[in-house]
Amino acid sequence: MEMKLWRSAVTFILMMSVIACNLSLPSGRIVTPSPSPTPTLIPAEPSKPTPSLMAQLSAHEVVQRTAARLAELKSFHFSIRPRGNKPNVGGLLNTPLPVLLSTIEGDIVRPDQLRARVTVTILGTSAHLDLVRYQGETYLNNPLTGKWEKLPSEASHSLSPAVLFSPEQGLPTLLTGLKWNIVGFDEMQGVSTYHLQARDVPSVNLIGSGGTSEVIVDMWVGRETFLLYQIRVDEQPTKREGKTTWLLTLSAFDRPVVITPPTIQ
């Protein structure tokens, strides 16, 4: 069975295609709106780690515990960053100009709240696309006007972060479907982590720009908390383009995040 590893990340990549349905970027002039306020993270007391028995666990046991911990999370901060050959998402934005994806970053509050910023580079200039999902409605900061707009209900439904927690296609389910090996122990975000790797994983073409048939996936998991800190997906270079490495990083686990709907002008 083909494993759609990045289906959880498609929630955020779909931001681009939704914008393509609602906006048409001109070929000559790109306006970057002023940055909007980001949610305030309130420090919380760290959870007590489980007893240290990690050395005896198999890769399968580590992944099972990681999936269970992910299913319990109430909120987290995320970032998706391509390295190496930056993906060109110009086709999704209905513009012939090269639009290079730089980052997607934000916060998720379970089950269905999201605030994210998509950063792209156009002709050497950065532009931002801000999104907020609140109580079933999704809002977009129009990069042409700097004003917030409510997306149609059919488009809003596609951007629900609830897919991340879905028992059928959520991230915990996807992780347990891969064959992992423990390849080492590293420090990540100041904590000791398992470094696990899955090879020969079928890739998923997210942005319609080709892709490789297989990828290598690395994952870093806390040795005591089983929190997932980072996933790295290494795509192999194509004949036309170089190699792209995707980094999905999670942090600020279960810290209170306040997401409010923007003002529609």
End-to-end CA distance of the chain: 47
> Across the beta sheet with 75-84, what order do the strands follow?
148-150, 137-141, 125-134, 113-122, 99-109, 75-84, 244-251, 228-235, 214-222, 191-202, 181-188
Residues 49 and 256 sit within 8 Å (Cβ to Cβ)? no
| Global confidence as pTM | 0.76
Structure tokens at 95: 């513009």
What is the per-residue pLDDT across 1-42, written as a single tens digit (0 to 9) for each? 333 333 333 334 444 434 333 333 433 343 434 444 444 444
Given this model, what pLDDT does residue 241 score? Answer: 66
- Which residues, in sequence order, are bridge partners of residue 218? 197, 232
% pLDDT > 90, the chain: 37
Residue 94 has a pLDDT of 64
Question: Which amino acid does the sequence have at 151?
Answer: L
Task: Walk me through the domains of the chain, giving residue ranges and CATH numbers.
Answer: 7-22+58-251 (2.50.20.20)
